[in-house]
Structure 1
């Protein structure tokens, strides 16, 4: 049984303990059958820099071939280029073999079928089919047949055409690819647009010898911060498969929700989707120039909501940015970078714009370790406690429970939600003063700790 690898948004596990010949060939043939039932004739398969990529590629392709799906090998590329191969109608479906920002021993599959993410209940149904197939004892023979296809050139051509107005931009740019795959697209796009920037650690290396490719962690952007003290104007950090970005000025690291506000300032009547972790400033300020919406965390949830609500742009605090306006509606860190450079070219002073926002104090995302079997029970118990008098919290104005609980108080808010990808409870807090933020944080954390003791979590 390989139940734990089927997550909310994608398939993810440790190689070769979870993802191995048996499990991945079964995933390939069962997923191939699902694709065929949905009218898929062709699937593109790409991969990031993980050392297990080639082995998993062979196993997955063998499964697809057994299901009689036509397979195209698009090579080592950022995940968004795989999405691009479907959204530009080159293929009916795409699978990217990627561990994203997880530790190096992890890998996984991000699946797109007919321009929709394959996630949630669909992944749970696939899990059942995979377990049945493995139990049957049926064997998938090795068959690595896959037609090579160059999607990178089309992707670079898109930027050369859509952003020709950025040619000759004088801004001094520093980027950190973190030995992930961002450099594969950054270098040719920079050449096509005549951008001059320094690129740290551009060589893909699944051992990640310089630092882990997770720009949301402070220790992984130290080199960028140092470079910004030495004459660079703007810095960009990328995660392992280049669908998540960190943006840095000499003054600050710009979170995804602040980026959404900046982008919205350059859009006409924007309809913007945020997640439950986003600052109240983002929602309030965007509502002055357009319309904001709050939704669930997770790239698959966001893409689905964007279609349903006719959203122009969506953002997660972590740096996943999704543009439908002038793009395709999926998260692409390189595209997000180019749109920042466009703001600068249009005369936006990023720091000055953010300095004009109402002053709020917020924590980074904080994680409380638990286990997968307890995390959702803790959230349900918290919902009960929040409706009980004498719970030790300031007066509650509202509770938003679309994804965990976002608790609104007079002077700020607190978020508690179960991660869909790791065994942790995620928290974040924001208020109009440090004192109020600390009061909210202390009260909510104390309540969560009490529940965890009661639940023996």
Structure 2
């Protein structure tokens, strides 16, 4: 019988409401389970700015110590910095306390191996088994793990600075959103020679300035500032810095899909071809841009861990998701908003283009996204039932993919229905060559999913 701890981990590690889904008691168990799993060695621990971060960090550290693992606490850091340092400092694992772009009442735990790669589903299942069976390898008091505290962020800063040299003084507005990038991101752009205006750069776990998820709505104030200052670009990060969003020089939000496709095409042009990776939710403009550049496209499940795994497996030159999470394998395998934004400036300079011009060649296809509330324990069943109903609703579909949920490729668009990996939701995405087409596709898909929900409740 599966206990209450099974199914803890999703596509972005463990995540939930603080003191409801995610408690200090559970965090201690995760720490003990990881220490038991790796058997010995050293683990790096960091956190984002959330109010519950230190509480959960202390619990994790206690669990690690109890099982004889040494801990190096790095304080508040962006997730990609923790991942990079885990590899660079020769640690056996890294633990990041973060809920990324989720609201402040959430927190989570993300685990990285010694190579800076996020734990995959198989390793997360092993940890769940240890937690469920309480098979913790507790040690004698004389062998408890030691704890050290330090700041090694300079190693990451040096890596980014060595990755490119800028020849002009870019005027940038950096918006960390009171998150984990508040100190390190403005510093990097200043040292790259940019004229930097930092806003919302005071760490605050209640995120009083804006949502930790950078999107069109939350970045309206940033858009206004970019226009007022006549800046070249506005750069905004999510709560832990693994995602980035851009505002162009006209003060307009740059669509995630279009900038992803534009940058992927740039990388392929620079490298003379290669493999690029994205997920099943990305726009069909991705293929339209990368194939003329000699690119091969691999699509994965939604979730940066799957993109990173595919980037490594297929020796891809770049990977990314249409949420601002980009993977640059030349440097490391964790999505990295700070590195992505620096490299994008380098691409603009290399191409001699403004941000608006850089993305101008990417075709804009209307995408509609909808969410339907659905209990975690039944959402996968509903999606499976919806698969048959979708086939009936779209008898002319050209291809069906079940890599993640069900994705139907149509003559003039596509539709995806999948269970969220982090929330009690079923996510629907429809894209068409016109808005009318996208709306028609979404209407049929919504009807199919609602019917699947009704059938389950009978």
User: Cα offset for 1:449?
Assistant: 1.6
Q: Does 1:67 align with 2:70?
A: no
* 8 A contact 2:71–2:145 mirrored in 1: no
| 2: CA distance, partners of 1:153 / 1:343 | 24
User: Cα offset for 1:4?
Assistant: 5.6
| 1: CA distance, partners of 2:364 / 2:9 | 41
| 2: CA distance, partners of 1:17 / 1:446 | 33
User: Cα offset for 1:394?
Assistant: 6.3
Corresponding position of 2:207: 208
| 2: CA distance, partners of 1:222 / 1:387 | 40
What SS class does the counterpart of residue 134 from structure 2 fall into? helix
Q: Does 1:351 align with 2:330?
A: no
Deviation string 1:262-312 (CA, Å, 9 cap, x unpaired) is 223243114210111111111132011122211111011111111211111
Corresponding position of 2:182: 183
* 8 A contact 2:275–2:317 mirrored in 1: yes
| 2: CA distance, partners of 1:251 / 1:281 | 23
User: Cα offset for 1:110?
Assistant: 0.7
Corresponding position of 2:448: 447
| 2: CA distance, partners of 1:232 / 1:190 | 14
Q: Structure 2 residue aligned with 1:11, among 11, 14, 17?
A: 14
What SS class does the counterpart of residue 303 from structure 1 fall into? helix
User: Cα offset for 1:161?
Assistant: 2.3
Corresponding position of 1:226: 224
* 8 A contact 1:183–1:202 mirrored in 2: yes
| 1: CA distance, partners of 2:364 / 2:436 | 13
| 2: CA distance, partners of 1:338 / 1:140 | 48
Deviation string 1:403-424 (CA, Å, 9 cap, x unpaired) is 1112111111111111111111
User: Cα offset for 1:70?
Assistant: 1.5
Give the direction of change, closer, same or farther, for the CA distance of 1:400–1:407 in structure 2 (3 Å limit). same
Corresponding position of 1:109: 109
| 2: CA distance, partners of 1:316 / 1:160 | 24
Give the direction of change, closer, same or farther, for the CA distance of 1:357–1:244 in structure 2 (3 Å limit). closer
Give unmatched runs, 5+ long, in structure 2.
none
Corresponding position of 2:235: 236
* 8 A contact 2:43–2:93 mirrored in 1: yes
Corresponding position of 1:24: 27
| 2: CA distance, partners of 1:185 / 1:336 | 14
> RMSD of the TM alignment (CA)?
2.3
Q: Structure 1 residue aligned with 2:331, among 308, 323, 327?
A: 327
| 2: CA distance, partners of 1:33 / 1:322 | 30
What SS class does the counterpart of residue 328 from structure 1 fall into? coil
User: Cα offset for 1:162?
Assistant: 2.4
* 8 A contact 1:2–1:18 mirrored in 2: no
Q: Does 1:314 align with 2:314?
A: no
Corresponding position of 2:155: 154
* 8 A contact 2:14–2:110 mirrored in 1: yes
| 2: CA distance, partners of 1:401 / 1:219 | 32
| 2: CA distance, partners of 1:150 / 1:197 | 24
Give the direction of change, closer, same or farther, for the CA distance of 1:4–1:155 in structure 2 (3 Å limit). same
User: Cα offset for 1:400?
Assistant: 1.6
Corresponding position of 1:262: 262
User: Cα offset for 1:251?
Assistant: 5.9
What SS class does the counterpart of residue 288 from structure 1 fall into? helix
| 2: CA distance, partners of 1:18 / 1:140 | 31
User: Cα offset for 1:314?
Assistant: 0.8
| 2: CA distance, partners of 1:308 / 1:297 | 17
Deviation string 1:58-99 (CA, Å, 9 cap, x unpaired) is 111111111111211111110111001123243221111112
User: Cα offset for 1:430?
Assistant: 1.2
Q: Does 1:362 align with 2:367?
A: yes
Q: Does 1:193 align with 2:192?
A: yes
What SS class does the counterpart of residue 265 from structure 1 fall into? helix
| 2: CA distance, partners of 1:395 / 1:181 | 47
Deviation string 1:171-225 (CA, Å, 9 cap, x unpaired) is 2211211111112211321232222121111111111112221103x33111112
* 8 A contact 1:238–1:245 mirrored in 2: yes
User: Cα offset for 1:28?
Assistant: 1.1
User: Cα offset for 1:359?
Assistant: 4.5
Task: Report the TM-score, using the length of structure 1 for normalisation.
Answer: 0.91
Aligned length: 443
Give unmatched runs, 5+ long, in structure 1.
none
Task: Report the TM-score, using the length of structure 2 for normalisation.
Answer: 0.91
What SS class does the counterpart of residue 297 from structure 2 fall into? strand
* 8 A contact 2:170–2:193 mirrored in 1: no
Q: Structure 1 residue aligned with 2:307, among 290, 302, 305?
A: 302
What SS class does the counterpart of residue 455 from structure 1 fall into? helix
* 8 A contact 1:2–1:131 mirrored in 2: yes
| 2: CA distance, partners of 1:99 / 1:203 | 18
Deviates more, 1:3-12 or 1:226-235: 3-12
